[in-house]
Amino acid sequence: MIEIGIMGYEGAQAAAILGMTDLLLAANGIAGRARAPERPQIRVCHWSLETGRSSPGRSFDSAPQGSCDPAVIIVPPGLGGPLTELEARVYAGWLVQQHAQGAVLCSICKGAFLLGETGLLDGRTVTTHWSYAEPLLERFPKVLLNTDRLIIDDGDIITAGGVMAWIDLSLILVARFLGPAVMMDTARAFLVDPPGREQSFYSPFSPRLHHGDAAVLKVQHWLQATGGAETRLPILADHAGLEPRTFMRRFQKATGHTTGDYVQRLRVTRARDLLQLTRDPVDAIAWQVHYKDTGAFRKVFTRIVGLSPGEYRQRFRVTAMEAGHAG
């Protein structure tokens, strides 16, 4: 028997906790209908910090007769702002202890802040919802953050992006413990896509603007106004009133991007809007967002978004009827 523990905390999203419980137990049932003798069974427990206790204990147990320790602890998403450092520390010691005993630790969305307090994310590449990127890095500067990814599986630590990424995480755990066939059957039963989508399909480019470097900010505003038409470093540096090497260093420090990557992301953001809202051919859109080589545009778009321009339009295009309803 394999225990997957879901940890409750103040503000944890009940829908995610209950949804994961339902999906994991449903997968158990699907596996059970064709269970091989050696195939394990998943036990789902909810762990919470009850009044008078110094560490979390089980508040729900799908198999109370079981005696195993948690193989996985999931920190679910939550409502509102991230837990404060003081609140998170209440759980951090227990999570470190569980990890030391062999448990895989998982977080979803703002649950990454709670895992961050353990120190176990230092030096690791992790993900969370893109809206939490800046506060997470400010609080945990040793973390390597990639919010383009929906799931980052580092073996003993798994982090997931947005609130609904609990579905993808649950299916990954089903595949790990019950096998890929059971995972696919569970995904079909719940009418959801199997893991494979990325957060970059949905996340807009949100430039970092509150960095305090006025010269860099001036260039950012200019690039935004011109749609990233200019990429030449000497011209960008001249607009900032800085030497090129100084400008390049300060720009990357302030924004977290090289000038080239920053401009590409601005252009791709505009291209996403045009793919969703117009019928313009992909080659025409490439020209509108300042790419002379349409092949290069397709490669850059696919690298940043994770889908080709055609795939993105097919998935996200707003029809005339939808646009009319929105108005």
Q: How far apart are CA 277 and CA 222, in angstroms?
A: 25
Q: How far apart are CA 95 and CA 37, in angstroms?
A: 32
The answer on pLDDT for 259 being more than 70 is yes
* Angle, CA of 274, 277 and 279, to the nearest 5°: 80
Mean pLDDT score across all residues of the chain: 89
pLDDT of residue 82: 86
pLDDT tens digits, 270-324: 998 899 888 899 999 999 999 999 999 999 999 998 889 999 998 887 654 344 4
pLDDT interval class at 55 (50, 70, 90): confident
66 SS3 class? coil
Segment 38-60 shows an average pLDDT of 86
Contacts of 312 (CB under 8 A, 6+ apart): 201, 272, 275, 301, 305
Count of helices and strands (H, E) across the chain: 14, 9
pLDDT of residue 83: 83
pLDDT of residue 325: 45
> What amino acid occupies position 277?
L
Q: How far apart are CA 117 and CA 9, in angstroms?
A: 14
pLDDT tens digits, 232-245: 999 999 999 999 99
pLDDT interval class at 187 (50, 70, 90): very high
Q: How far apart are CA 251 and CA 257, in angstroms?
A: 7
> What amino acid occupies position 22?
D
pLDDT of residue 193: 82
Break the chain down into helix, strand, coil percent, rounded to 5. 50, 15, 35
Domains assigned to the chain: 2-201 (3.40.50.880), 214-322 (1.10.10.60)
Catalytic machinery residues: 109
pLDDT of residue 49: 86
Q: How far apart are CA 251 and CA 240, in angstroms?
A: 10
Strands, E, within 88-228: which ranges?
104-108, 125-126, 144-145, 151-153, 157-160
Segment 113-139 shows an average pLDDT of 93
Report the predicted TM-score, pTM, of the whole model to 2 decimal places. Answer: 0.71
Q: How far apart are CA 84 and CA 67, in angstroms?
A: 33
pLDDT of residue 54: 79
Contacts of 309 (CB under 8 A, 6+ apart): 271, 275, 282, 285, 297, 298, 301, 302
Q: Phi-psi category of 76—alpha, beta or left, where left has phi over 0 and alpha has psi -120 to 50?
A: beta
pLDDT of residue 137: 93
Greater confidence (325 vs 20) lies with 20
Bridge partners of 104, per DSSP, are 72
pLDDT of residue 324: 45
Least confident segment among 21-30, 108-117, 191-200, 210-219: 191-200
Give, to the nearest 10 degrees, the angle between helix 259-277 and helix 214-226.
30
Cβ distance 150 to 126 under 8 Å?
no
The answer on pLDDT for 101 being more than 50 is yes
